[in-house]
Each structure stands twice: as structure tokens, then as C-alpha cells.
Structure 1
Amino acid sequence: MSEETLYRRLRAFRDTFREGFGSESEEVRWPEISQGQILMMMSSKARHQRVAHRLRTALEPQLAAGLALYVETDLEDPGLGILRVPDLAVVNADFEPTAADAMPPHDCHCIIEVVSRSNPANDYEGKLRDYPAMGIPHYLIVDPRDGTAVHYWAPTTRTGAPTYDNQQHYTFGDTVTVGDWKIDTSGLPRYDDEAPQ
């Protein structure tokens, strides 16, 4: 069975599963698909959303005409068998959705993920594998657990596996540069130790 055939079966099951169970659940978000598996994601908590909102507020006014900032929208590459739901995505405003009403990766300029306490490996491992494979030019991970951020750019496969050629590490308080955009992280809140995300 090809990667795309398996993906389409998982995609159909995901949509059926979501309609039958997840739409009434406040705890379950749209599942993601990667490496032939459906990945269940928990709904974002308030602290996670607060960080994402501040990032959106900082970034959106800087976008040139023709670009838009999407929040938690399906991003899929059926040929690679990948469907992700990024926290924030800078995309061409006039992109044509895929047949499954998702964003195609070739219209995406930047992905920003806010790390949750419950599953940090999803952002640092799974998505760090999938986003360069999809050709996403810039990937920014913002981690309120320890007040850090990492910007990855220039996707490549020259090492034999999809990765990014470059990375830059930041701490909250720094101004992060992503392409033509600058994000001041000094106002980003960190998670409280007492409240898991």
C-alpha cells in the first residue's frame, strides 16, 4: 500500500472519528497524521492560547499584502502522508485549499508552534521531521515551559533525512527574527509550575 493510499484511509477515518466523537469534546482537538499513524492531540489550555494570541498580535501587523495568518488549520501533504494542525501559519492569502479543505504546504511561509507541557516531543521531534519534509521555509518553536524559542529555516534533505540547515536559539526577552518579521518575546508569559498544560 502506498503512503498516499494509507494516508487517505487514515484521513477518512480521522474525519469520521471526529464527527462521531470529538466534535462534542472540549478535550480533543482535530487529530494529526504522521508516519502512518493518527496522533490524538489534546485541546489547548488557556495559558497555551494566551501565548499563541500574543504571537499572533505581534506578527499579523507585519505581514505584507497577500499574506495571512491562520490559526489551527489543517496543513496536509497527502503524498507524504502528513497532516498537521499548526498553532499559527503564515500563508498566501489567496491559497487554494486541497480537496480535503486543508492548506497545501507550498502556500505556507512559516509555522509557529507553542509547546505544550503534555507533549513537547510532538513539536521538537515529530513536527521538526515533518515540516522540513513538507518544504516549510521557516519553523519557530516557542516554549513557555522554560522561556525559550528556536527558529529553524532552510529545509534540506542533503543529510538523507528531512531537516533544516539553520537554527537560532532565543530566550524570552529576545527579539526573534523570522525572515522579514520580528517578534519581541519579552511580553510572552511562561507556564506556571503548578498548572500542567
Structure 2
Amino acid sequence: MTIAPDDTRHGATGAYRAMRDFLQSTDDTLPGKFEITREGIVHDMMSPGGPHEVTTARISRRLESVMPDELLAHNGTPDVEDEPEGIMRHPDVMVIAWTDLDTEGSIDPHTLIAAIEVVSRSNPDNDWVGKVRDYPLIGIPVYAVFDPRTGTGAVLTDIHPTPDGPRYATRKDFVYGEDVTIADWTISTADLPRYQDTP
């Protein structure tokens, strides 16, 4: 759910700062997950549940088993922020070098090797629409989406310019059970859980 006006297109404006300050002031006091997009504040009202968390953990562990030691598939804080674009996101998993994670404040999205999202049961458009738009805009070269509602997903790559701004040129869809390649690493999608009663 978007709960702020479309003022963020002007980058680090007073509106973006006000939204960022609001999110910091409500940290840990309101349920759900908040992010700032080009369209305003997006609030995923439901906290992630079992299948979402299990999927995130399994993807992270499987990636780290095949990646070099200087990289990690991180699924914690902080946020990824591009202040000039007026975007602050929080990927479920970010593939990043340990040295780039070791910073104060938000992560520079240009240091990410990949961002991975597990689709929310309550707000799937945030992952399938909003982040497909925002992640190439802030320079994240690979975006992988896992959807426990359908047991499918996609890996988006090859950022290229368009009249509407940078967009991913290549999309490779997959079905749970197939191997999937994210950046330079291939992992199994076997045994990833599904949502049981999808609304």
C-alpha cells in the first residue's frame, strides 16, 4: 500500500527527507515493513511469516555455499538507499562484499551484486512491479524474485536505458524445483515452501 504522494521523483527533496524522518521515528513501533519508492512510502502491513522466512534463509544459505568467502548473501539490516533518486528499499537478501557491508548508515545500491525478494503475500505488486521499476533505476544489476504464492520466479538482468528510465532487458522465468542462476552462481529451488491459503 502506498501511503505518500508522488513527490519523490525530485530526489533528495524536503518530501523525501520528511518521509525518511518519519520512518526513522516509527522504527520498531508500527507493524510491517516500510520502504520509500518513487511513488512514496510503501507499507507491507503483514510481518513476514514462516514460508517467507524459510525461503529467505534457504536462498541465503544456498548462495553462500557456492559463493567465494569475500561475499555474503545478507538478509538483515541496513536498508539500501539512493538519496538522489529518493528511493530507500530493503531487499530480503542482498549479495554483497563484506567490505561494502561494513559501512555506517544505508548501503549504496551500486555496491550490490544482486537483490533477491521473496514475494509478500499481502503486497505482491511491491515486488513484481515497484521493485522491477526501482532496482534498475538505482543500479542493482541483478534482481531475482521468488514467489511462494505460485511456486515460480524470475531473474531480471541487463539494465538498459528506456524513455521511462533504466529498465531490465532480460527476464528468465523459473519454476520451483528447477535450478536458477543468480549473477554467477546457480542454486537449487527444490524444497522451497509455498503459501498455503493465498488470499
Corresponding residue to 1:85 among 86, 90, 96:
90
RMSD: 1.9
Structure 1's unaligned 5+ residue stretches are: none
Q: Do structure 1's residue 175 and structure 2's residue 179 form an aligned pair? A: yes
Aligned to 1:35: 38
Higher mean C-alpha deviation, range 60-69 or range 1-10: 1-10
Corresponding residue to 1:75 among 73, 76, 80:
80
Q: Which amino acid aligns with 2:35?
A: E
- CA contact 1:36–1:81 (8 Å) conserved in 2: no
SS at match of 2:85: coil
Corresponding residue to 1:146 among 146, 150, 160:
150
- Superimposed CA distance per residue, residues 109-163 of structure 1 (whole angstroms, 9 cap, x where no aligned partner): 1011001211100001000000000110100000111110100011122343321
Aligned to 1:46: 50
| 2: CA distance, partners of 1:18 / 1:107 | 25
Corresponding residue to 1:58 among 48, 56, 62:
62
| 1: CA distance, partners of 2:183 / 2:135 | 16
| 2: CA distance, partners of 1:153 / 1:174 | 19
Please report the TM-score for the alignment, with normalisation by the length of structure 2.
0.87
- CA contact 1:68–1:92 (8 Å) conserved in 2: yes
Please report the TM-score for the alignment, with normalisation by the length of structure 1.
0.87
Aligned-pair identity (%) = 37
| 2: CA distance, partners of 1:82 / 1:16 | 18
Residues 76 and 39 of structure 1, relative CA distance in 2, 3 Å threshold = same
Structure 2's unaligned 5+ residue stretches are: 1-6
What is the aligned residue count?
Answer: 188
